[in-house]
Amino acid sequence: MEKLKSPRTGGILVLCAIIAILPAFLSNAFQMEIAILIFFNAIVCIGLNLLIGYGGQISLGHGAFVGLGAYGSAILSMGQGWDPLLAMVIAAIFTGVLAFVIARPILKLKGHYLAMATLGMGIIISIVINTEDQFTGGPDGMYVDGLSFVTKQIHWYWIIGALLIFSVWASLNLIHSPIGRALRAVHGSEVAAEVVGVDTTRFKVMIFVVSAVFASVVGSLGVYYSNFVTPDIAGFFHSIELVVMVVFGGMASTFGAVVGAAILTTLPQFLTFLHDYEHLVFGLILMLTMIYLPKGLVPTITAFFKKGDKS
């Protein structure tokens, strides 16, 4: 029991400490902005990691779910004048229902076919956002009022930081429950999972919906934070970025998703001198990760220390 608990609670405590101390080291609004962006990305990645890392299903269209949350909130709060938080909840429910409807046929596919189907889904949603300009403002994007009661950047920092800690905690809870084991079993062997009573389709659909809702909520909050949204958020590159973060940080590792998001959100800031070659470097990182760290950063490091213990 001790063994089960310590890495979980320990990891969460370390994360809390980092989030608590970090503002003292951030000297300007731009750095604070990057920190908040890391939190946003990390939350999406935690949800996506449940799908990719634990459930063993790929999604190359998760940017679209972030986009649906963002535009759902933008349209409902600005166009319809709804309360922003209500708009966020409705957008999340809508995204969840859409993910549910899409998931049934899509998750019957495996491997490349599933990748293609999710890719196509993402592109379709992205096209709709781009072309329905009477609602979305088209490629120019939309201005959105923020949350009236959160005005200072540091308040955003604490809110999103707290949400990140909650997401890590909930994700770990889920993994270490019968649902989490069933999910990993689906990844391990679908037929073996079925014969001990796991309805594999149900679990695949469930986790697809959960990860879509994570993405949608982040999309909504992101748009309230930045007061602006463009179709890029739902685009192909955003989807790929999210997958790279998960794979780089470590599949089937909740903390890996956070670390992956942190490193790959910060990295482009140091690579700005490369201008147009940024995507090239991103691709290179993915390739090198797949070759030298196929299990991702965090699981590789953990395995290294475990080995050290034994010898």
Partner 1 sequence: MSLLKVNDLSIVFGGVKAIDNLSFEINSGTIHSIIGPNGAGKTTLFNLITGVYTPTTGSILFDDEGVTGFKPYELAARGMSRTFQNLQIFFNMTAIENVMVGAHLHLNRGFLASFFGLPQIKKGDQYCRETCMELLDFVGLKKYADTDTDSMPYGALKRLEIARALASKPKILLLDEPAAGLNPAESREIDEVIKKVAERGITVVLVEHDMKMVMEISDHILVLDYGRKLTEGTALEVRNNPDVIAAYLGG
User: Is the CB of 191 or the CB of 291 nearer to partner 1?
Assistant: 191
Angle, to 10 degrees, between the axis of helix 200-226 and the axis of helix 178-188? Answer: 110
DSSP reduced 3-state for 157: helix
Rounded CA gap, 268 and 246, in Å? 16
Helix, strand, coil percentages for the chain (3-state, nearest 5): 80, 0, 15
What ranges in 176-226 are assigned the alpha helix state H? 178-188, 190-195, 200-226
Contact pick of 6, 9, 131, 173 for partner 1 (by CB under 8 A) = 173
Is 105 a residue that touches partner 1 (CB under 8 A)?
A: no
Q: Given the structure tokens 């995507």, which residue do they identify? A: 279
Q: Is 252 in the site for partner 1 (CB under 8 A)?
A: yes
**Contact flag: residue 189 with partner 1 (CB under 8 A):** yes
- Out of 32, 169, 293, 301, the residue judged to bind partner 1 by CB under 8 A: 169
State which H helix or E strand residue 79 sits in: none
Tell me if 198 contacts partner 1 by CB under 8 A.
Answer: yes
Residues 29, 285: Cα–Cα separation, whole Å: 28
Contact status: 81 vs partner 1 (CB under 8 A): no
- Give the nearest distance from C-beta 3 to partner 1 in angstroms: 8
How big is the site for partner 1, counted in residues (CB under 8 A)?
A: 31
Return d(Cα 110, Cα 121) in angstroms, integer: 15
When asked if residue 7 is in the footprint of partner 1 (CB under 8 A), the reply is no
Is residue 295 close enough to count as binding partner 1 by CB under 8 A?
A: no
Q: Is 178 in the site for partner 1 (CB under 8 A)?
A: yes
Q: Does 168 bind partner 1 (CB under 8 A)?
A: no
Q: Using the rule CB under 8 A, which residue among 197, 270, 304, 309 binds partner 1?
A: 197
- Based on the number of CB atoms within 10 Å of its own CB, is 202 exposed (0-12), middle (13-18) or buried (19 or more)? exposed
Q: Which residues bind partner 1 (CB under 8 A)?
A: 1, 3, 169-170, 172-174, 176-182, 184-185, 187-189, 191-200, 206, 252
